[in-house]
């Protein structure tokens, strides 16, 4: 899972300074896609939730 401090996003803004897009390094983008996929698998397969919760707790520590 990606660490929020590793994102280092760059923003594209409109003429008024409003953020309209985000630029991320490709490896960060791919890691985010993988995380989204993993979360979708967990949400559709309840038997895998316990293992994911353990992994998530470990990663937070």
Tens-binned pLDDT, residue by residue, of the chain (61 aa) = 667 677 788 999 999 999 999 999 998 889 889 988 888 887 776 665 555 555 655 555 4
Give the pLDDT confidence score for residue 31 in this predicted structure. 87
Query: Which residue, among 33, 25, 48, has the nearest Cα to 1 in the 3D structure?
Result: 33
**For the whole model, what pTM was predicted?**
0.58
Give the pLDDT confidence score for residue 49 in this predicted structure. 56
Element (H, E) at 29: helix 26-44
Give the pLDDT confidence score for residue 42 in this predicted structure. 79
């Amino acid at each position: 899972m990606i660490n929020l401090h590793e994102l280092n996003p760059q923003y594209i803004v409109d003429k008024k300074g409003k953020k309209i897009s985000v630029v991320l390094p490709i490896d960060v983008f791919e890691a985010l896609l993988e995380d989204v996929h993993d979360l979708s698998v967990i949400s559709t397969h309840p038997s895998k939730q316990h293992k994911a919760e353990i992994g998530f707790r470990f990663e937070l520590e």
